[in-house]
Amino acid sequence: GDGTNRNNEGGGGVDGIIGGGYGNNNNNNNNAGKKERKKKKNNIPKKSSPSPLLPPPPSSSSALSEDFRLIGIIAGLAIYNGVILDLHFPPVVYKKLLGESIGFADLADVSPSIHRSLESILAMPEDTDFENALCLTFSVDVDHFGKSKSVDLVPNGSEIAVTAANRQLYVDLYAKWILVDSIALHFDAFARGFLAICSGPALGLFRAEELELLVVGLPHLDFKALEKAAAYEGGYHADHPTIRTFWKVLHGMQVDEKRKFLTFVTGSDRAPVRGLAALKLTVQRGEPDSDRLPSAHTCFNVLLLPDYASESKMREKMFLAIQNTQGFGLK
């Protein structure tokens, strides 16, 4: 762009864009009028929530790279073994794994507040006095082990003001810094782990959203399909009175309760790519009319269901079981 040089009194940086998320860049000339204009005209959040892309922030030690490589291996093994994981990465992670192009639009899935803030810069009128209204330069201040460190988006970026003419370049470079540069160390380690398990020509057949489904499964839950594909052991069968009561209670649950049931039995609250029928739920007969709660073998999708004598007792014990359990996953 046609950015102009800016001296130290210009107060560059991006604290108006991302606030406490990556540190602040102070205005050294204490120009109260300039700060007031910035506050009024630049309605940008002062803090941004942590990015779910691949935390933690770029100030973290490279020693964590091994942890990210192991997470990548786990995600790859989950696909290989058909296991659903509670790994809620934004879609851009899967696009990067497949080598697809990414851009400013992908930032909306990573940090909606920053995306909206940058969009507001693009939407400002051409005749806006950007230097006084925003006080931004082509640089980012990051927290580096407790100390502020300036990172230039272009050579000498801290001396180049954001203007009406170069704001598109600024937005594109800022998005690239968040999505690529700031996480390169940890994402590359994650990708190495993932591709060590899932690589080869077959991977190229998937789109990003399809790859995501293989890892985290489908959000839609068809419990009729789960019932149709279920198997029974220990004397239970599809027409057994206890089994008929079990499905009546289960179908009567709210969606969030059904998700808790899935977590209780399988360790995940989502369906595999082929739907709940692919879980092959097995309901095994437990003790006769017991005060024991149902239990489960999550590795095999097996529910151990006592032969409760009444629907009310079935409902009571089922709800107690699913409300007081937690599946495994990566948080």
pLDDT digits (tens, 9 = 90+) for 159-193: 999 999 999 999 999 999 999 998 999 999 999 99
pLDDT above 60 for 329: no
Query: What are the Cα distances from residue 7, in Å, to 29, 37, 137, 142, 157?
Result: 11, 20, 11, 20, 12
- Of the candidates 168, 191, 216, which is a domain's last residue? 216
The residue assigned the tokens 């990210």 is 68
Confidence at residue 268, expressed as pLDDT on a 0 to 100 scale: 80
> Two tokens at 281?
């739920």
**Catalytic (active-site) positions:** 299
Q: Is residue 19 part of a domain?
A: yes
Residues 95 and 232 in one domain: no
207: domain range?
1-216
Domain count, the chain: 2
Average pLDDT over residues 103-130: 89
Is 31 or 121 the better-scoring residue by pLDDT? 121
Same domain, 70 and 196: yes
Same domain, 67 and 143: yes
Percent of the chain with pLDDT over 90: 44
Looking at the structure, do residues 149 and 295 belong to the same domain, yes or no? no
Token pair in block for residue 134: 């925003």
Q: Which amino acid is at 151?
A: V
Residue 285 has pLDDT above 50, yes or no: yes
Residue 233 CA to chain centroid, in angstroms? 38
Cα–Cα–Cα angle for 143, 148, 150, rounded to 5 degrees: 100
Residue 158 is which amino acid?
S
Which CATH number covers residue 286? 3.30.2410.10
| Domain-embedded: residue 329 | no
How far, in Å, CA of 317 to CA of 306, rounded? 10
Q: Which of 221, 219, 176 is nearest to 88 (CA)?
A: 219
- 78 with 44, same domain? yes
Tell me the pLDDT tens digit for each residue of 67-79: 999 999 999 998 8
Task: Please give the residue that has the higher pLDDT: either 172 or 148.
Answer: 172
The amino acid occupying position 314 is M
The answer to whether the CB of 76 falls within 8 A of the CB of 196 is yes
Classify the phi-psi angles of 217: left when phi > 0, otherwise alpha if psi is within -120 to 50, otherwise beta.
left
pLDDT of 141 over the 70 cut: yes
- Domain match, 241 and 202 both: no
pLDDT of 42 higher than 70? no
Contact 121, 170 (CB under 8 A): yes
pLDDT value at residue 214: 86
What is the average per-residue pLDDT within 32-52?
39
Residue pair 137/160 in contact by the 8 Å Cβ criterion: yes
Q: Which of 2, 6, 3 is nearest to 28 (CA)?
A: 6
Phi, psi of 111 (to 5 degrees): -145, 90
Last residue of a domain, one of 196, 216, 236: 216
Domain boundary among 159, 186, 216: 216
